[in-house]
Amino acid sequence: MERTYLIRTFGCQMNEHDSERIAGQLDGDGMTAAASVEEAGVVVFNTCAIRENADNRLYGNLGHLKPLKDRNPDMRIVVAGCLAQKDQARIQARAPWVDVVVGTHALPRLLELLRAAEADGPQMDVREYTEVFPSAFPAVRRDDFRAWVSIAPGCDNACTFCIVPLVRGPQRSRAVGDILAEVQGLANRGVVEVTLLGQNVNTYGRDLTVPGSSPRPLFAELLRRVGAVEGIRRVRFTSPHPHDFTPDVIDAMAETPTVCEHIHFPLQSGSDRVLKAMQRSYRRDRYLGWLERIRTAIPGIAVSTDVIVGFPGETEADFADTLEVVERAGFDSAYMFQYSPRPGTRAAGFDEQVPKPVVQERFDRLMALQEAVSLRLAQVQLGRSVEVLVEGAGKRGVASQGRTRTNRIVHLGGQHDPGTFLEIRIIEATAHHLRGEVQAAVEAVGIRATV
């Protein structure tokens, strides 16, 4: 009988990439992807602990599976990822029909745990330390032409709103040679764009021992070397931390033609008082100073950010500071979040939680400001010719969609093959996407965007 699996992924790109590794292990064991939960022999929930009500959603999903599992006791249910690492034995206490709980550091043991569950009943591995990087296993990638590459899971910071250090542990950098070999392997299989993933890419390498030199951040060097891999035409990365940012990274970005003109640079708040309470060890002037240096070195670079509204103790004056910085920074796009306490974080225990209606009202104001800024900056693109990498069909009936080097989504008429590069003239601009018409195919590597 055919053995099948289905993976449901929640949360960030790191989780999406972990799911590709989970699929790689299951495929390698002879399983195939199922179209629905009903047809799946193994169902994996790869969970996120950051989103609000993440645990309620997980238990809701597990509750829906219970009748299926009752009818089909051979079905195996796996809870993986950050919530597995955080809630550990509580998961099987609340949902005893779960067969395997596998934390963020134990993913490479998934098949072993499934076999043990077969023989001996429910299993759990939530070890605290990564011994084998999931990258050592094959991946079933979402696309043939682009790929995520994990460079340093974990984080050594302690932002008071964030659960990541608890569930992912301290930073562990992969060896440069491993990363380059993975990128070269991807390029050999036709991948043209890679996104380097780390919680704090700037400190990549700080925990590696390099013969003949003391440990130091190696991100700039890595960027140059990944950017030079033959066949790779676009390099992206996420996320840098404004505190750990260094000038050599700007130089590497500016001098490596394949590194795209986009940076995701998390602000979180424009108030120094709130940044301090968040334990984000930079201040607004330093943040804006970095932006200026980046924009001077890489003209036309697009900048996106994250902003949290309503952090405990945020006053109207603090929020006004955020509005001011958002206006001055001129972000092309922003992920805006309404603060809500996440169990396990320090900020969840802070006094002065801001009432929900106040958070909502501030959020609406910030959103309106950012929409106006995004639209203004998008309209600057009108009439320009840019290189677009086609991603496939867009949402809501859009025939094709692609992405500029500056990470702007471009809607296109007609069908175009995913993974091809086109030169596009921008004919329409909204706050969230552009529309363009095709001018020509693009063959040359590393064409700098005109924006």
For residues 66 and 243, which CB has a smaller minimum distance to ligand SF4 in the complex? 243
Q: Is-contact 80 47, C-beta < 8 A? A: yes
Q: Is-contact 61 8, C-beta < 8 A? A: yes
How many Å apart are CA 40 and CA 75, to the nearest integer?
Answer: 7
Q: Is-contact 11 17, C-beta < 8 A? A: no
Tell me the closest approach of the beta carbon of residue 239 to ligand SF4, in angstroms.
7
Please tell me the number of Cα atoms within 13 Å of 81 on its side-chain side. Answer: 29
Contact pick of 199, 269, 353, 370 for ligand SF4 (by CB under 6 A):
199
Tell me the closest approach of the beta carbon of residue 345 to ligand SF4, in angstroms.
9
164 binds ligand SF4 (CB under 6 A): yes
Tell me the closest approach of the beta carbon of residue 363 to ligand SF4, in angstroms.
19
Tell me the closest approach of the beta carbon of residue 153 to ligand SF4, in angstroms.
10
For residues 345 and 400, which CB has a smaller minimum distance to ligand SF4 in the complex? 345
For residues 345 and 404, which CB has a smaller minimum distance to ligand SF4 in the complex? 345
How many Å apart are CA 345 and CA 362, to the nearest integer?
Answer: 23
> Interface residues for ligand SF4 in 96-155 (CB under 6 A)?
155
The burial of 419, by beta-carbon neighbours within 10 Å (0-12 exposed, 13-18 middle, 19 or more buried), is given as middle
> Interface residues for ligand SF4 in 207-266 (CB under 6 A)?
241
Tell me the closest approach of the beta carbon of residue 141 to ligand SF4, in angstroms.
24
Contact pick of 122, 165, 170, 446 for ligand SF4 (by CB under 6 A):
165
**Which phi-psi region, left, alpha or beta, contains residue 212 (left: φ > 0; alpha: ψ -120 to 50)?**
left
Site string for ligand SF4, 10-39 (x = CB under 6 A): ------------------------------
Angle between helices 356-379 and 316-329 (to 10 degrees): 10
List strand residue ranges (DSSP E) for 153-223, in order: 193-198
Structure tokens at 131: 């011994």
Helix runs in 256-298, H state only: 272-278, 284-297
86 binds ligand SF4 (CB under 6 A): no
For residues 307 and 377, which CB has a smaller minimum distance to ligand SF4 in the complex? 307
For residues 114 and 155, which CB has a smaller minimum distance to ligand SF4 in the complex? 155
157 binds ligand SF4 (CB under 6 A): yes
Count the Cβ atoms, other than its own, within 10 Å of residue 337.
Answer: 19
For residues 49 and 124, which CB has a smaller minimum distance to ligand SF4 in the complex? 49
> Which one of 8-16, 137-145, 160-168, 225-233 is the stretch in contact with ligand SF4 (CB under 6 A)?
160-168
Which residue has 């190696």 as its token pair? 218
Q: Is-contact 161 47, C-beta < 8 A? A: no
Structure tokens at 431: 């706050």
Phi, psi angles (nearest 5°) of residue 67: -60, -35
Tell me the closest approach of the beta carbon of residue 356 to ligand SF4, in angstroms.
22
Query: What is residue 385's DSSP assignment?
Result: E
For residues 9 and 171, which CB has a smaller minimum distance to ligand SF4 in the complex? 171
For residues 164 and 176, which CB has a smaller minimum distance to ligand SF4 in the complex? 164
Contact residues for ligand SF4, defined by CB under 6 A:
155, 157-159, 162, 164-165, 199-200, 241
